[in-house]
Structure 1
Amino acid sequence: MQKLTRIITLSVALTVVSGCSYVGVYKRDIPQGNLVTQEMVSQLQPGMTQEQVTYVMGRPLLEAPFDTREWDYVYRLDKAYAGVEQRRVTLTFDNTGRLMNVAQQGDFSGDLPISTDTSAGPATETTDPITGNATPGQRATTPENAPTPQPVMPTE
């Protein structure tokens, strides 16, 4: 009986710890596509060339494969705990490459929560990943303090 109690207790403990726990999972916002703001769209004027539009909006996420006169800028933000927000701007050009029409879909009234995390990418060996400073006991190698190579003398 005591062995059966231990087995049941161990089974329940493993089940709770493995996947049926009540501990929440960390989620983060996932932005995808072209960042599109109302400020950017308000700078667009009919008659602008494709180069001028590219300067204001950047390259489009989607260019219609059969009609190069239509550009789509799509931004999708999958919020970790609040759902999905999507914005879309469709630009139509005439045959001469001038902007004719600007169509918007989505809510452009609110600001987007944009992460300002500047520590993107892997840390170097001599850099602390948290602070970005040289790790204790080491100097970060820069062109100013890089060691000069010493010539190797042949031994006899």
Structure 2
Amino acid sequence: MRNPALLVGLVAVVITAGGCTRIRQNQGYLVDETLVTSIQPGVDNRESVSKTLGRPTFAGQFDSKEWYYVTRITGQYAFAQPKVLSQSILVVSFDGAGNVAKVERRGLEQVARINPSKDRTETLGRDTGLLQELFGNIGQVGAGSGPLGQSGNTGRDGPR
């Protein structure tokens, strides 16, 4: 090569461009369509679902009548925040006897979109500054209080 600076520049561009590729990550339950379609309402129960699909990602919070199998694929560039590209939730509902009542799927509509409006969180109560937080209690404690909340001067022999 006649120009080594050009070669070094090309190598630097190729290495830098490698950092701009999207990173994809699979999270949660890996769906096997054959196993999912084999779960039949009225035929299967908790034990057969557990043996077929495995343990759920999580169960219902207040009762265990629903099992959730969650799959999520996220993507991100180098240092950016990850974004949800696709999501699938398999919900297996059980009746009171523990038999499968229904099997349904949900998707990205279950992802909450939260857009903060400011750089701070509004709270109820006083709006105080740093100096008031640091020095706000000066003079608030009663001057005559003892270690146990007693007033007056107490010593080893009792009140004087």
Question: With structure 2 as the length reference, what TM-score do the two structures score?
Answer: 0.47
Larger Rg: 2
More strand per residue: 2
TM-score, length-scaled by structure 1: 0.49
